[in-house]
Structure 1
């Protein structure tokens, strides 16, 4: 692997130098703004320093037709410029965000990327992580192990997802759980209520709007009896308001909504009419990690028509990949409340932090 440093007045000028000398298959390992001084430190000039690399004898790896087409169109560009460089470049000088993946990279780098791919991390994120890994690898004279690169990758996800963790302060009194059929809303409500009551001594009540399935009502009533929590069934907006009034002295009121095919906007509108959501209400979207990522995306987009800003991921023990959590979060930047596993109330409710999420993204943690 040939590595060389370039200094130029602008990023496009540096890119032209890299392309001219190293060719189209070069990758950018690092870029930063530097200041060169003249006349005893006076009259300094700001330049761009770029660290680029190329394999003199690249080995081709198998690509999809989409990747082949993209590789043919891409020029040598970094995946992401530092913020100070982004601000200094004009709109005409913005660089491509896709990194060429046509070369075979050092084994520790490739192994880490393969792990991310197997875990379902999207292609653009893998390309960005690739630049970070290559920069780390060559800055340390190629003396970096796969384990160390995995830690670097974990720190990337930890930093990325630090803002995804929902604050435990300022929770609303009325908490709605929304989601399609079969994601485990009713069991999740029982877990949340049991946790709030047993661990935090909260006074709880249940309301269910899921009147389409008798079994769902009976299931929540069973949990209510076991946990000694009062429950009301609301068939319309008037019933819901009456139930809220009845439980006005409670600390938290969990509201179970009907599990429907929410790919149909009609059901979203029906829910909106019955619930008549208030600004202070908390709406949580419940998604199953066993669902296809495309379906999760469609469902969340449907629920985004409502004031939903928090997600609970269920069935974390029934999947071996967790990259879809990051992929979906990257698009919508919602808060992540909890993950759930199994049917045990309340023990199978998992509070997550950035460290746990990062471990899931790199494949270090599973159930």
Structure 2
């Protein structure tokens, strides 16, 4: 006898699988409802059904023409698929298994005429067969009810799924705004019905391309250096982030790199960046005003990449922001990364982004992810302002502790915050 377990979203789906693989003679031995996966996106009920079928079950025998034996009696030849010709006597009759349920709904097989089968001896055997037939009919009725109920449940696709509620609650727990979570779930629902956790995860990842755009890695030019500027509030981590990327491009990628620093407000800033430049052997230019930018760029003409550090500016200081805009306009960089701390609250993040827009920011770069538990605020601001994210940093180690922003990696951090 062949025994196999099947796991499906519903009893109907399991029965269809059993019928397709084991055939209509399969018997249901056991069924149970599996516990729901708590941290699975779109967790739904599943059932486990154990079914069995006799491996030596044969297809119904085709009646063959009557043949006359040596004794002059007509009889049907015995089939080798039903009776072993090497063993005399009647074939073994398989006992009925009361603990199981046949999956088929075909008519009951009638007893076939076989040689050497003795007639029923008494009324007890007739009563037993009658009871078996009655039990099988009851099982058929029960199976029909099960199939009808599960079919109705599958058709009701317009009813709210508990999987969407689980996903929404997890997003809220990660400090994603309710209106953003609802918009994301609506996007997922509108793209079609979801039949499994795997499909929901794929749908969720695809939707993030709209709600969480990413910039991708730095791209070199065929001619001339790529100019990358870092701007942002004081203490957001601009200089350390610049050092990580410069070291990575120079040491790990073998590119020619130069640094231009306009952060002359801090006394130790110039010496700090000069020490770093000496260690990794990259060029360094110090500028004190936007008028010195063209000369500094000429010194870097033969490089692959030029990273530009700027002084921390309060987004609410109009004079400082005007100076920064003049510097960036003169620099004309290919990329302007607004460096933001992941510990900043939602309202401040939105204020910073809006006030830095005049300096033509085209990337958001988030630092200090190691200093916060929940990163829902990052999802909120990116979803709202639609500026792509370039990198995440999560420590002080140079050139390590930095990674390219990717939706899948960010979702992992999002769920880690929920579990803690």
Q: CA deviation at 1:245?
A: 1.6
Equivalent residue for 2:337? 284
Give the 3-state SS of the residue equivalent to 1:326 in structure 2: helix
Mapped pair 1:193 → 2:243:
no
Is 1:203 the equivalent of 2:253?
no
Q: Report the alpha carbon displacement of residue 135 of structure 1 after superposing the two structures with TM.
A: 8.8
Residues 152-178 of structure 1, C-alpha deviations (whole Å, 9 max, x = no match): 674355443574232543566221100
CA distance in 2, matches of 1:251, 1:190: 16
Deviation at 1:138, TM superposition (A): 8.8
The CA deviation string for residues 85-129 of structure 1, in whole angstroms up to 9 with x for no partner, is xxxxxxxxxxxxxxxxxxxx84x5444322211212121122234
Give the match's secondary structure for 2:168: helix
Q: Do the aligned residues in 1 keep the contact of 2:216 with 2:404 (CA within 8 Å)? A: no
Hey, what does 1:117 align to over in structure 2?
A: 172
Query: In structure 2, what is the equivalent of residue 333 of structure 1?
Result: 386
Give the aligned partner of residue 85 of structure 2.
none
Q: Does 1:166 align with 2:216?
A: yes
Moved more, 236-245 or 277-286: 277-286
Q: Is this contact kept in 1: 2:220–2:226, CA < 8 A?
A: no
Partner residue in 1 for 2:356: 303
2:396 corresponds to which residue? 343
Give, in angstroms, the shift of residue 192 of structure 1.
0.7
Identify the residue that residue 408 of structure 2 maps to in structure 1: 355
Measured at CA, do residues 168 and 51 of structure 1 come closer, stay the same or move farther in structure 2, by a change above 3 Å?
same
Q: TM-score, normalised by structure 2?
A: 0.55
Unaligned runs of 5+ residues in structure 1 are: 1-49, 55-104
User: 2:373 touches 2:417 (CA, 8 Å); kept in 1?
Assistant: no
| Residue in 1 that maps onto 2:269 | 216
CA contact (8 A) 2:259 2:306 kept: yes
1:124–1:336: structure 2 CA closer, same or farther, 3 Å change rule? same
Check 1:362–1:173 CA distance in 2 against 1; reply closer, same or farther (3 A cut): same
Name 2:108's counterpart in structure 1: none
Tell me whether 1:151 sits opposite 2:204 in the alignment: no
Partner of 2:300: 247
The answer to whether the 8 Å contact 2:325/2:358 transfers is no
Structure 2 unaligned regions, length at least 5:
1-155
- Structure 1 distance, partners of 2:364, 2:241, is 12
Q: State whether residues 240 and 275 of structure 1, in contact with CA within 8 Å, keep that contact through their aligned partners in structure 2.
A: no
Residue-by-residue CA offset, 1:130-153 (whole Å, 9 max, x unaligned)? 55788999975xxx6xx6697367
Higher mean C-alpha displacement, 234-243 vs 203-212: 234-243
Q: How many residues align?
A: 262
Q: 1:362 to 1:214 in 2, by over 3 A?
A: same
Distance of 1:174 and 1:136 partners within structure 2: 40
The root-mean-square deviation of aligned C-alpha atoms, in Å, is 3.2
